[in-house]
């Protein structure tokens, strides 16, 4: 069974902060709508008390040529949702499935391929984040270290600032900030980019200013508009994206990287045997 279809909803969510008040009203309608209705420009404009020109501007901010193209894609993937969900287990699993669908909709495989090539070329890799993003950074360090990447995670904001002094074109920097607003992470990326390092930001918010100091902006789903999003760990969408990057990277010279992984397992087993 095919679960994944490209949806416009996560694209709307990632651009939400870029909208005007009127455009946010339009965005809320398409994000929260659960019923099949008349989505024509005239009908939606009347329903929301906005102009058809506002619908067109909204669609263009989402990356479409106009409202007609936007609503065609929206209708193509729209599925009426049954809100009478019962049982905590089903509720949580449905929320995870929705997040996976949103990840698929935001997925840019060409971008992931470029990032994997950056990883192959970099002599040093740093991944930084604070709070839950910092824990995801630690997990990324552990995953990639075990296949031979010289990688360090950084959660302390002072260390982030100090580490920028030593970054150059041989470095690759990953910044993780769901909001995109964590100042220490932004500083690490900006200064490292200025010194010639490759920089990648993993975030749920698409802002044009990121292009000024990021080689790649990797979009992940936002929990903000997700039904029952408060029961989902904020690390989950980050870790899904890390797994996708990891999988692509391993496929490039798979034998060598799997060998490194086996060596690390043997090293861990050796430590355990010495303990007995």
Q: Which of 182, 186, 177 is nearest to 214 (CA)?
A: 186
Asked whether residue 94 is assigned to any structural domain, the reply reads no
Asked whether residue 175 is assigned to any structural domain, the reply reads yes
Q: d(Cα 126, Cα 109) in Å, to the nearest integer? A: 22
Q: Is residue 197 domain-shared with residue 247, that is, in the same domain? A: yes
Segment 3-27 mean pLDDT: 87
* CATH number, domain with residue 48: 1.10.10.10
- Residue 52 CA neighbour count, 13 Å, CB half: 7
- pTM value is 0.76
Segment 130-154 mean pLDDT: 93
Which pLDDT band, with edges at 50, 70 and 90, does 268 fall under? low
Segment 141-161 mean pLDDT: 93
Count: domains in the chain: 2
Q: Is residue 15 domain-shared with residue 138, that is, in the same domain? A: no
Instruction: Indicate the length of the chain as a whole number.
Output: 276
- Give the per-residue SS3 of 5-39: CCCCHHHHHHCHHHCCHHHHHHHHHHHHCCCCCCC
Q: What is the DSSP string of 126-190?
A: EEE--HHHHHHHHHHHHHHHTTT--EEEE--HHHHHHHGGG--TTEEEEEE-SSS--HHHHHHHH
More confident residue, 195 or 80: 195
Q: Is residue 149 domain-shared with residue 65, that is, in the same domain? A: no
pLDDT tens digits, residue range 235-259? 889 999 999 999 999 987 766 666 7
Asked whether residue 48 is assigned to any structural domain, the reply reads yes
The answer on pLDDT for 194 being more than 60 is yes
Q: Which of 81, 112, 142 is the last residue of a domain?
A: 81
The answer on pLDDT for 175 being more than 50 is yes
**Residue matched to tokens 């302390």:** 156
Q: Which of 142, 242, 157, 247 is nearest to 202 (CA)?
A: 242
Q: Which of 48, 81, 114 is the last residue of a domain?
A: 81
pLDDT at 259: 74
CB 156 within 8 A of CB 185: no
pLDDT at 111: 96
For residue 200, give its domain range.
Answer: 104-270
């Amino acid at each position: 069974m095919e679960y994944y279809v490209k949806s416009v909803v996560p694209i709307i969510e990632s651009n939400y902060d870029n909208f005007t008040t009127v455009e946010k009203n339009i965005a809320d309608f398409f994000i929260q709508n659960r019923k099949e209705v008349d989505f024509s420009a005239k009908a939606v404009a009347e329903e929301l008390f906005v102009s058809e020109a506002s619908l067109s501007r909204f669609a263009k901010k989402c990356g479409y040529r106009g409202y007609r193209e936007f609503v065609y894609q929206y209708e193509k993937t729209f599925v009426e949702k049954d809100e009478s969900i019962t049982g905590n287990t089903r509720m949580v699993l449905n929320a995870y499935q929705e997040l996976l669908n949103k990840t698929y909709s935001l997925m840019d495989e060409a971008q992931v391929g470029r990032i994997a090539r950056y990883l192959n070329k970099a002599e040093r890799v740093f991944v930084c984040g604070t709070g839950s993003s910092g824990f995801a950074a630690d997990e990324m360090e552990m995953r990639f270290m075990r296949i031979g990447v010289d990688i360090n995670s950084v959660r302390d904001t002072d260390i982030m600032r100090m580490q920028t002094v030593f970054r150059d074109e041989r470095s690759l920097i990953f910044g993780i900030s769901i909001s995109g607003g964590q100042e220490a992470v932004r500083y690490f990326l900006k200064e490292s980019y200025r010194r010639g390092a490759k920089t990648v930001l993993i975030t749920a918010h698409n802002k044009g200013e990121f292009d000024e100091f990021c080689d790649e902006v990797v979009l992940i789903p936002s929990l903000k508009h997700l039904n029952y999003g408060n029961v989902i760990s904020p690390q989950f969408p980050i870790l899904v994206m890390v797994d996708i990057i990891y999988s692509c990277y391993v496929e490039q010279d798979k034998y060598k990287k799997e060998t490194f992984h086996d060596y690390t397992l043997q090293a861990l087993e050796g430590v355990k045997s010495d303990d007995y």
